[in-house]
Chains A and B, each alone.
Chain A
Amino acid sequence: MSVPSAVDKIRFLGNHDFSSQGKFMWEILCQLRNLGQGRIVTKNEWLQKWPTQPSYLKIVKARPGMDRWLQTGVVWVEWTFRGRNLGIYEFSRDLHRSDWRLVHKHEEAELLNNKNAMEEMILPDSFPLPPLQVLLAKKDAQKNNQPFTEAQTRAPLELSIDPQFAMLKPFIKQAPVTKKSHNIYDEVDPEALLDLYGEKLPVKVESWTPGPAGITPRFHIPQQ
């Protein structure tokens, strides 16, 4: 094996993915027989955020893109996230984080037999309307000789679930509020939401954007 006489210096530009510890998905799968069919892979991020609840992917079918840096391809997996089996999902877009780890066969039992599961997230099914709006509604009701009930101070809450958590939709339930108050922050259990972060502070690695920082004015501010 001879070293080439001169190697071009390659400078890699991009965000340093400091929170990742592992390999690319395709790096692991391309080194396995049958492209890892039937094997289990886990993500380091999940291990750190929810160490007691098992999260893993069981490979059903993999089709690598075989690009130079092993970052593209499609893999169909059976996704168990935080102890809940979500069924078969297709992973094709975010496989460029080197955060994946292969679970060896003798370690699989530990993951598979772990029965800790994510509890359902209970959020309120209604929210208190803003006080000014309630006041005006009351005044309006008085003016038109209509009754104004307690129920009219609240409106039904339609949850807006971020696409990042779309797979958790079956586990996000809404229930009537036990302790009503004027403030929505008092009605939601913060632990239910913080549970989505798990045990790790959020580390968001900004994706690379070209150009220097700038200010984009969002609103027209009239000249004084």
Chain B
Amino acid sequence: MVLKRNQAEDLLRHYFKLNHFYDEQWETIESLLKGQRILLIQRTGFGKSLCYQFPATLFDGTTVIFSPLIALMRDQVKQLKSLGISTECINSEQTKEENKAILKQAEQNRIKILYIAPERQESPEWLESVREIKLSMIVIDEAHCISVWGHDFRPAFRKIIDLVKLLPPNFPVLATTATATESAAQDIMQQMGGNVKYLRGNLLRENFRLNVVRVSSEDDKLAFLAQYIPKMEGTGIIYTGTRVNTEVYSNFLRCQGIDAINYNAGFNPETRRYIEEGLLNNRWKCVVATNALGMGIDKPDLRFIIHTQIPESPIHYYQEIGRGGRDGRGTPIILLYNPEDRELPEHFIENSRPPLKHYQRVIGELKNKSLGKWDLMRKTNLSRTRIEVIVADLIDQGLVKKFLDGRSKRYEYQFNAFPFDNRVFERLREFKLRELEKMIEYAEMDKCRMFYLCDYLEDKKADNCHKCDNCRGKKLNYTTTAYWQQRVSNFRNNYFPEIELVPESQQGKSLLERKSKLVNGVAFSYYGFSSVGSTIHRCKYESGDDFPDFLLKGALKAYQSYFKGKKFDLIIYVPSTESGDLVKNFAKKASAALKIPISHGLIKIRNTKPQKVFQNSILKRDNVKDAFSYTNPGEIAGKNILLIDDICDSKATIREIGSLMTKLGVNKIAPLVIAKTIGGDIISGKDVQLHSRKAAEETTKRKPFAEVRKSYPKAYEKWTKEDDELLVRGFRQGESIAELANYFQRKEGSIRSRLRKLMGTEIMVNVPQGSLKKDTYFEDEEQIYQALKKWRLQKAKESGLPAYCVLPNATLENITRAKPSSLCDLLDIKGLGEKTIKKFGEEIVEVISRLEK
């Protein structure tokens, strides 16, 4: 396609209401029109989208844009539609029905620009449609996700690359990102199949005022924030290293009168969207978040970015601060740095890959039999995240392939596969440790910090910035004053995490209306906070001594502060598997102090294993299912019960007991525990660090189904309304019938009919009979064909006509393939008119259904 720049800009004005291209934009566009492959690296806000949106409108066919950011897709679709360009997106937030309708349109070449989340590539709908779509160009947004050397590698991008490699050489492909080091860029280009044009602009913004503030404790950080945030102009983001700290920091700031809210990947999509929108509208002074916040936040005037934890590498850091000051105004960028903080990123790096034996465990199971994800979780006792990481690596190495079995995904071991090779992980680990050193160097050096980052990003930059702390000759140290130390201590002593058990859907209802009588409770502390976790651990597994008094005092305080005036009639406690009488003794002391009678009626009727040995929620649930009983049910009917335990991890135990108590007719049951974990898993003693933001990221890229389920306490019992909600939600998220059936441990048929009942026509459209039938292939298609032929012969004899006049062979073949099970199904079959169906329909269906039996 030959188009001069001035001609193109005429079109630009007409269609996009913009006057000129930037030079780099035009260079990109010109190359795409020539059918080249391009990697474009430009800072956020540069205008990368136009580089593909414009040529997309010129091509005959559909441009497909792979983008991991649903929020961004939504915005761009809206914007392009308002310009009159037919644009749609396929993502997990839309129903299957909506996605399908869009794909149908694309097949008819009625969509110019189609956004799709990389994960969606594996959906059967997409697989069926994509070859029918006339593709004109492929765009990979956030292309750094392709590379393991980048800061945010995502396995779902692999499939795009696999496709790009196979496309004809003159097919235009554009990869864009705002964040890639030189080595990641080289890797991306190589993966795109070589022969890629490389365009790279300057990434850093000159308006940043970079600062590093040395501190020597967590308390220092809290105090610093409380003291300085009120002095900051506008709205900003505070990044923490862990999910638990988003909660702690924001609570602390609120206690100090600062309008703060927390955000992390554990939140459901609605909440996340609410906070993202609130941030855009300056609803709070600051949002305290893990790095789950930011990608796709397009706010020009974030006035400050503060990190309370050193990131893993300068590229991570660049990515996170890059969200500040897009309007070009001076923006303070602060890193609170305690040299000890390196432990957290080190921990991530060391644990970013599961140990070799876990890989072997998975390989062993798959060699035996191909399994789906849930089955693998059950069989290997590994967490969902682990399984996902392992399976992605095995697929990458060609040991395992994912295949669709009907509509459910299974992993299949490949005969002939090369043995598993974990040396690449070793190289990756070393690389990441080197990157961390560079970040530490940034924090500790005394030269211009801007210069250092530019150099790292290979930006062209000659001079010092004159704005950073080092250029200004200021060494920034912060130590808490006595006044602030006191405020921090007060907070620490009076802040108790809530244990949430009542699902959202039930929160508005009164206790009477609710089916489950289990209500929210409280913990003294987080497991990872100060010495609480390690103390519990020591008592349980080492000394065997009773829990020390400070834990009791803490728990009592939590009780007072949380339950305030509420009355309880009876204390019960969770009978222990392995800690002997620790919990019992603890409960006795609590009972004495609170003057609430204690009962020893709750007992275990079968042995359970300690919950912590189970790495995923399915097994934890199975472990405690029907494990408890109550010896004297009469004494608890109608009572308000306080349930005491040491650690609340997956909540599965509390829920199991809650449901038992509900059955026995209690009025209310609430938990009081010593420590609550965040993120599910406990690893001995080792603090907050476990609940890594990485893990947080991984588990909730797309709100995992298990998480959704976890928030429904009653879902583990008989079929409930919550199960219904969950089922519909899972279905809308694109889980297959088979997978849902597996999850709920029900037959596919009953899941299907439940869905049909719940969703009425929607499901009829989503899961039409015809496509469901495809799951149940007949043993032998030829058998059907022969049976039909036999039937036809008989008809022919009866009517005295030649056989082909009854029905031609081609039609018999069509019927064979379609395997109709009702008259309606016959309507879709080529060669069968209404007349024929009236005449023979019943018989044809009969012939086939006879075979099916």
> Do the two chains bind?
no
Task: Give chain A's interface residues, CB within 8 Å of chain B.
Answer: none
